[in-house]
Amino acid sequence: MKAADGGQGGRKGRIVRSRKRSEAAFVRARASLVGGVNSPVRAFRGVGGTPVFLASGKGCRVTDVDGNTYIDYLASWGPLILGHAPAAVVAAIRRRAGLGTTFGAPTPEESELAELVRKAFPSIEKLRFVSSGTEATMSALRVARGFTGRDLVVKFEGGYHGHSDGLLVKAGSGATTLGVPDSAGVPAAFAERTATLPFNDVAALDAFFGERGSEVAAVIVEPLPANMGVVPPRAGYLERLRELTKQHGALLVLDEVITGFRVAFGGAQELWKIRPDLTCLGKIIGGGLPVGAYGGRADVMAKVAPEGPVYQAGTLSGNPVAMAAGLATLRQLRSKAVYRRLEKLAARLEAGLAAAAHEGGVPVRIHRVGSVMTLFFRDGGEVVDYASALCSDRDRYARFFHAMLERGVYLPPSQFEAFFVSTAHDEKAIDQTIAAAKEAMRVAAG
Ligand code: KE4
């Protein structure tokens, strides 16, 4: 996609000087790293232009290799609910690393973090730490298949659960069908074990379960989808999903990799009172280091090796330094005041962005739950699922993204991701963001 001209358009308020070092760093990176990045979405393909190479972060701000500073709403795609390099987390990492970084043997910190997770998520009776959200969801579905003896898994269009083969699937023709691979290298046989339904469509759920409910091992769902942009579930939708899975002996797997400890200390299941059979966690629980987790009903998790026949393992699972970072992070989230603060700041940002769009005559839809939100450049019509999210104006988002970047605000480089507010943001940073948005909306209007 060619670079958007957002940064070149409206010049007012631009503060970013040059990004020559990022450009040089990108040339160098591409010589060794595929696409110059270690995860595709970082390559700015969704917005065009050269990715910004970052040098450091502190609080709610990051600084790039050219010395430009930005107010950060990417938050590393979600983990940094306390902002960058929070003192207590850095101290915990330093202290633990000095005692040895990994043993491949059990350490007490793993039990400490597991107990904290279980306190926040009463549905998690037993769990296992892994090193990414992908590992968590992949393992949870293997356990669900092992426990039920069934093969079929259901996911939703626009739902993203990491890059394991069985989950890189999109619906074939029609909205309810056997999946076809969404990536080269995924055998059709794998994809055929995954059905894909449209999100927020109860009729589609009822029809599918009416026909094939007895074959379903598990349904995996982001209770608050954030990988098609943030699309809240309609009232009663998750409850119906819970009823149908129970009725047909299928397991309900909530993928709370983003929402866990984000929308509430106990995630979306606390907010919306849904008790799943299994939960997948990641991002925040590692406090910025690689941690994922899956867990839930003790009778289901008893299937996992070494207790049961479902194998799952990992050299760095439960890594003591990552456990220390996770513990230091979650300990700071235990007070309700933290979530009230996040709500206040995020509501201020939402209102300011809506006002900026209105002032600029730009139609938008803003979806927000707590400190996670998406600003859809959607002209008319609701965004209730993947199909309607795809109707958003990606070029307009790209112009807005670059105009904000030029004004010192770092947003996710894709219309179909989420902004995150952290406890390190304050009213001043939010108001600076809104001032930049007022100008960027004029650029976005094109
Ligand atoms: P990881 O394997 O990237 O740790 O987690 C996969 C995953 C699982 N479930 C949900 C709901 C997720 O959002 C993710 C990963 N999120 C993406 C961005 N939304 C990570 C960014 C990237 O791929 O670089």
Closest Cα to atom 10 of ligand 1:
161
Lowest-confidence segment of 183-197, 260-274, 313-327, 386-400 by average pLDDT: 183-197
For 135-150, the pLDDT digits (tens) are 999 999 999 999 999 9
Closest Cα to atom 13 of ligand 1:
258
Give the other-Cβ count within 10 Å of 98's Cβ.
9
pLDDT above 90: percentage of residues in the chain: 89
Across the range 70-92, mean pLDDT stands at 98
φ/ψ (deg, to 5) at 176: -130, 100
CB-based contacts of 401, cutoff 8 Å, min separation 6: 4, 6, 47, 411, 413
Alpha helices in 213-335 (DSSP H): 237-247, 267-271, 298-301, 320-331
Closest Cα to atom 9 of ligand 1:
161
Identify the pLDDT of residue 179: 56
Torsion of CA 338, 344, 347, 352, to 10 degrees: -130
Strands (E), 256-349: 278-281, 292-296
Instruction: Give yes or no for residue 419 CB within 6 A of ligand 1.
Output: no
Q: pTM of the full predicted structure?
A: 0.96
Instruction: Give yes or no for residue 162 CB within 6 A of ligand 1.
Output: yes
Identify the pLDDT of residue 143: 98
Rounded distance from Cα 91 to ligand 1 centre (Å):
26
The encoded tokens of residue 95 equal: 């202290």
Instruction: Give yes or no for residue 417 CB within 6 A of ligand 1.
Output: yes
d(CA 121, CA 107): 22
State the catalytic residues.
160, 255, 283
Across the range 40-46, mean pLDDT stands at 93
d(CA 368, CA 44): 23
Instruction: Give yes or no for residue 137 CB within 6 A of ligand 1.
Output: yes
Instruction: Give yes or no for residue 350 CB within 6 A of ligand 1.
Output: no
Burial grade of 234 (CB within 10 A; 0-12, 13-18, 19 or more): middle
Lowest-confidence segment of 167-176, 203-212, 309-318 by average pLDDT: 167-176
Identify the pLDDT of residue 7: 42
Domains of the chain, earliest start first: 20-72+335-445 (3.90.1150.10), 87-333 (3.40.640.10)
Is 10's pLDDT higher than 50?
yes
Q: Is the dihedral of CA 257, 259, 261, 266 positive or negative?
A: negative
Closest Cα to atom 20 of ligand 1:
77
Rounded distance from Cα 115 to ligand 1 centre (Å):
24
Identify the pLDDT of residue 428: 98
Across the range 422-427, mean pLDDT stands at 98
